[in-house]
Amino acid sequence: MMTVKNVITSKDVVAQTLKGKIEKHEAQVGVIGLGYVGLPLAVEKGKVGFPVIGFDINSARVDRVNAADNYIGDVKDEDLKDLVQKGLLVATTDFSRLAECDVVIICVPTPLTITRDPDISYIQASTEEIVKRLRPGQIITLESTTYPGTTEEVILPLLEKTGLKVGKDFFLAFSPERVDPGNKRFSTKNTSKVVGGMTPICLEIAYTLYVQTIANVVPVSSPAAAELTKVFENTYRAVNIAMVNELMMLCDRMGIDIWEVVEAAGTKPFGIQTFYPGPGVGGHCIPIDPFYLTWKAREYDFHTRFIELAGEVNVEVSYYVVNKVVRALNSVNKSLKDAEILVLGVAYKKDIDDMRESPALKIMELLRKQGANIVYHDPYIPVIEPHGGSTLHLESIPLTDEVLTSSDGVLILTDHTAVDYERVVGKAKLVVDTRNATKDVQENREKIIKI
C-alpha cells in the first residue's frame, strides 16, 4: 500500500501555510453541491471545527440548510442544527464567496446523456466558477464519480489558464465519494477514503485534509488511479448483479427458486460474496459508472465487452419483470390491459428516500404503455415527478385494505421494512415479489409469484 511522504519543505511557503491551516482546522472549507454527498461531507468537516460554506444552484436547498431543515437521511438533524446555530455551516448560491475558501470540494452530479455518454457539464461549470476566484493557497478536490482522466484532462487545464501552477500555487486532487444512502453501519466518517493528487505536494495536502475527519485515508499514485478505483468498485457490483439476474431468469425457466439458491450458496465461508437478484439496478452509481469506463475505453481502442454485457442484462431484467406480471395475470385469466396494478416501493433500495435511476420508473412506464392502470405506495417517496426520461407524475397513495383488495395485482419493487407484507398478501388477489419481501409470510402463499 502506498504511503504519503512528507515532501513539503520550508521553501514551499504556500503549501506549508495551507497545510498548517488545515491541521489547525482554521482553513475555510467550501463544498459545491449540497446533495447526498456534499451535505454529509460538509457536516463532517463542520463537526471537527472547520468553518464551512456550502454552495448550490438550488436556492430552495440553500434555504433549507440555513434554516437547519435537514433533507438528507444520512445527516443527523441535531448535527445540522448545531452547526448552523454556531455559524460553522452556511449555505449560499453566491459563488463569489469561493474566493474566501482555502479548500474547495466539488460534489456535483455526473449523469449520463441520452446516448449513455458521460455528462460532466456540472463539473465543468463548477470549475469555471472556481477559475474566476482561484488564488494561491487553495486546494481543489473533486469527489464526483467520473471517468479516469477527468481531473488531469478537464479540470487542470481550466485552472492553469489563470497562470497559477499546480503543486506550487494551488493544489488539485481527486477523492471519490463512497456514500451508501441509508447504510446504518458505514458513514462518511468510517468509510475508507481513496485520494490521488496531481503532484506529491497535492497528495500530501489532500491527505492531510481528509484525515482530519475520516478514519482511514488510502493514498494512490494519481487522480486517474483514484478515478478508476471508484468506477471499478461500482462496475464490480454491476457485473455481479447482472450475473445473478441472469441466473434468476434461467431459474425461472428451470422452475428453481433463485432465492433458495443464492442463500444456500452464501453459506459457503470462502470464495463467494452474496449478490441478490431484483427488478434492475438503481441509485447514483451502479447504473451509471460502468458507462463512464466503457466510454473512456473507446479512446484506447478497447471494447469492454464484459461490462457492456452486464449493462444489457440489467436493463433486460426490467422487461423480464413486466413479462412476469403479464404471466401472473394470465394465470388468473386477467389481461394486463386495463388491469389495476399497485406498485409497492419506488425508491431504488429499501428504507431510503432516493429514487435516482430506480428500475421502478422503467417498469411502471412499460406497464402503463401496455395499458395497465398504475398506482403506487412508498412511505419514503410521496411524489414522482417527470425526470431523467421518465414521464411519470404520480402521488403515493395510502396502503388501505380497499386499495389492496381492489387491485388486480400487487407488484413489490422495493422491500421497505415499514410495509406489513403478511397483510398485503392476505388482502391482495395476486402478488408479484421481485425482492423476496414475502419470504416470511406463512399464509396465502399460493398468491405469491416470485421472480
- The set of catalytic residues is 285
Cα–Cα distance for residue pair 177/194, rounded to 1 Å: 9
What is the Cα–Cα distance from 341 to 431, expressed in whole angstroms? 10
Q: How many residues belong to the chain? A: 451
C-alpha to C-alpha distance for 417 and 182, rounded to whole angstroms: 12
Give the DSSP per-residue string, 58-98: -HHHHHHHHTT----TTS-HHHHHHHHHHTSEEEES-GGGG
Measured distance CA(337)–CA(324) in Å, rounded: 14
DSSP codes of every residue in 37-65 = THHHHHHHHHHTT--EEEE-S-HHHHHHH
Amino acid code (one letter) for 2: M
- CA–CA separation, 128 vs 108, rounded Å? 13
SS3 (DSSP) at 294: helix
CA distances from residue 31 to 44, 157, 251, 385 in whole angstroms, order as listed? 12, 21, 47, 27
The rounded distance, in Å, linking the Cα atoms of 320 and 309 is 16
Residues in Cβ contact with 380 at an 8 Å cutoff, skipping those fewer than 6 apart: 347, 351, 352, 353, 416
CB neighbour burial string for 245-264, b if at least 16 within 10 angstroms, e if fewer: bbbbbebbeeeeebbeebee
d(CA 408, CA 237): 35
Three cell numbers, residue 165: 501552477
